[in-house]
Amino acid sequence: MNIIVTGGAGFIGSALIRFINDHTDHHVLNLDKLTYAGNLDSVADAAKSDRYQFKQHDICDTGAIKAVFEEFMPDIIIHLAAESHVDRSIDGPGEFIKTNIVGTFVLLDVARDYWASLEDEKRNGFRFHYVSTDEVYGDLGHGDALFTENTAYDPSSPYSASKASSDHLVRAWHRTYGFPTLITNCSNNYGPYHFPEKLIPHMILNALDGKPLPVYGDGSQVRDWLYVEDHAKALYLVATKGKIGETYNIGGHNEKTNLEVVHAICELLEQYGPAKPEGVSDYKDLITYVKDRPGHDVRYAIDASKIQKELGWVPEETFESGMTKTIKWYLNNEDWWKRVLSGDYQLARLGSGR
């Protein structure tokens, strides 16, 4: 098949492309604007394959998106391209509205016209898979039941509101036009190639440099942590085997407070890390508490029983095994994250090409 992955130079998108390249014979087109979080270094091995293409376009550019569809003739679209950092959405929500809502509309509109033009067999096999987040559900109290696919939406930040808006658009395109859509809502991802502004890589790299480890509030906020390679397998499974019109929650079954996550990072660095920076006797001594972010959700926790029952997916990694792999990856791949920190990774913005 021909599969378009939007946002394929991002964290989750690149993991998905690596999975498809390594475990299938499908052709993949990576469609990415290459904003600050897009990094072609993350798909360097896949780019060596003749089954991989890259196009640098903004998903809001209707003409460019139409041209991609006409040239590549996709069978499946897996749409991950999004602005995704909550703090950035609080400081500047406009870009989140544009990319996450308008961009999704453009893709839906172009994809529907393309789908309508297909011959029956190809038309019947076409799928549009939208990758969303558990943050659309708002937050839970510490004793509340898990998020299910039927939980009412209650987004708290401009980021989660923009993702919720896109979820509604995707469902409307299915119900109004019969367009073949799927939605997945995932919990917090972690693992290799994660952009350093996110919690886990930020803490790892700060600790290695002897810098403070800033924890919002008292660190009691709970997240369900999902290893990114487990997520990639689930996305491919839903895109190829999921039931049209359905939503599937994807969670890691690993609820941890932010403080527990930071403690785990410190303990693993004590075990596997290099010599500590000068003046650091214990990585946990670097933990500092900072003012909480506005509207900070208390707890996210996903019930992923539907995808397990219907498609047979369960995460392979525990939090402990996934975090160990993550720590070791960052310790063994300094070139990747140093190019990000220096900004050199952005030199890969060369336009489009294979």
pLDDT score of 351: 46
pLDDT score of 353: 42
**190 phi/psi in degrees, rounded to 5:** -150, 165
User: Does the annotation count 300 as an active-site position?
Assistant: no
pLDDT score of 50: 97
For residues 191 and 295, give the distance between their C-alpha atoms in angstroms, rounded to a whole number.
Answer: 26
pLDDT score of 159: 93
pLDDT score of 96: 94
Question: CA of 102: how far to CAs of 9, 165, 180, in Å?
Answer: 20, 10, 20
User: Does the annotation count 278 as an active-site position?
Assistant: no
Of 159, 283, 330, 345, the catalytic one is 159
pLDDT score of 348: 61
For residues 95 and 272, give the distance between their C-alpha atoms in angstroms, rounded to a whole number.
Answer: 39
Question: CA of 122: how far to CAs of 61, 117, 129, 176, in Å?
Answer: 25, 10, 16, 21
Of 58, 83, 134, 303, the catalytic one is 134
User: Does the annotation count 70 as an active-site position?
Assistant: no
Could you tell me the domains of the chain? 2-194+225-254+298-318 (3.40.50.720)
Of 32, 83, 135, 229, the catalytic one is 135
Burial class of residue 154 (count of CB atoms within 10 Å of its CB; 0-12, 13-18, 19+): middle
Residues of the chain with pLDDT under 50: 351-354
